Amino acid sequence: MEADQRDGATGGTMGEQRDHDFYTVAGGDWDVFAEETSVEGEERVVVNMGPQHPSTHGVLRLILTLDGETVTECRVSVGYLHTGIEKNCEYRNWTQGVTFVTRADYLAPFFNEVAYCLAVERLLGVEEQVPERASVIRVLVMELNRIASHLVAIGTAGMELGAVTVLTYGFRERELVLDLFEMITGLRMNHGYVRPGGLAQDLPPGAVEAIRDFIPLMRARLTDYENLLNANDVWLRRTKGVAYLDLTGCLALGVTGPMLRATGLPHDLRKSQPYCGYENYEFDVVTREGCDVFDRYLVRLDEMKQSLRIVEQCLDRLVPGPVMVDDPKIAWPAQLTLGADGLGNSLEHIRRIMNTSMESLIHHFRLVTEGFRVPPGQVYVAVESPRGELGCHLVSDGGNYPYRVHLRDPSFANLQALPTLAVGGMVADVIAGVASVDPVMGGVDR
């Protein structure tokens, strides 16, 4: 914002004197665009699409150059949702970092937590000590989370292209998943449930039965989406051949997840680099070959069916056992309970450590307030999130706080493809293209 201090500048009626300041909105990237336009000597229209923008989960700004309604250039501007998640982790102990990373891709919080905790466990050298039950529950909640995330992707995409009923259906089913999360963790989002060494608590009574009831219901309702969209002429016209990006383009731009698998490449970290015991589960890597918005929708729809298969196997694999490593120098207490005030330490556990051993109470206090120390080193661990490869790079200097935390968020990498998807298409097709990328800006701007 620049102030023009010209007293007596002409404005309104010719010759009328005005004694106040003029303010001209200038600066930033608009000056660059204006200069480029004058140099090129051709008429073009540069418009903002955003920062409040359809089809995004967060705040994204697109700067579009138009020739009529055809996009000739697309620039992506991010950073409007920056929260300093990574930097905040450097000022908290290793366990407290979970409550920050879970808020990055907030539509897939369990994947953030698992990637971070797997990295911490690798630095600690306790990967093999994580109880089997904890790993199975991690897979269980991640696959339920994948379903919830894909429901948002499909539902919001349908809404932006005019199929409002799809949004109603998508959020109807998502509520069922969030109810399960609330039963398991005490929260609907941003759970802080997965912790280095295991989990905050075991599954509560009734959770297994509730999940078993959900599976056939969700399978039946997936047919609603197929009946609404798969042969819908309007949906096909808005998605078939729109926002095309082939395998070569995906590999060049670092695109992963459903966008990559919609080009025919069966790349899935659950198969290629298994973690949490995924090698023991039977499921198919869904692929399509259309490289467009429609096939990305089909990949997500079919992936929800595969996730239900995995959830069923998780329930069958659950055997009694602990959910935290057996190392009192690392393991935060996992004896938690759900009370009227939310998630907290069980009164029975507190009474035991307070009444039986002063040493236990002191150790509990120090472990929670100071945390544990992690050997020096660095590590990168990746998981397959609903949007692609979600990686966590951790650096430890041997202290009880991380020296560096960095998330390789797939939404950030996938947004690089947006100019390629948009250029040459219509303005209306930009919305369909963004919806097919399914970016979550909390992970982009973390």
Helix (H) or strand (E) holding 210: helix 207-225
Q: Please, which pLDDT band fits residue 340 given cuts at 50, 70 and 90?
A: very low
Q: What is the pLDDT of residue 41?
A: 53
Which of 147, 74, 138 is CA-nearest to residue 111?
A: 138
pTM of the model: 0.86
Q: Please, which pLDDT band fits residue 333 given cuts at 50, 70 and 90?
A: low
Distances (CA, A) of 266 to 96, 178, 260, 261, 334: 36, 29, 8, 6, 38
For residues 195 and 99, is the Cβ–Cβ distance under 8 A?
no
Amino acid in the structure at residue 242: V
The answer to which of 6-10, 84-88, 146-150 has the lowest mean pLDDT is 6-10
Q: What is the pLDDT of residue 300?
A: 94
57-71 confidence digits (pLDDT tens): 778 888 888 888 888
CA dist., res. 395 & res. 409, Å (int): 17
Residues in CB range of 217: below 8 A, 6 or more apart: 176
* Annotated domain spans of the chain: 2-77, 85-330+372-445
Look at domain 85-330+372-445 and name its CATH class: mainly alpha
Res. 311: pLDDT tops 50:
yes
Average pLDDT over residues 223-238: 89
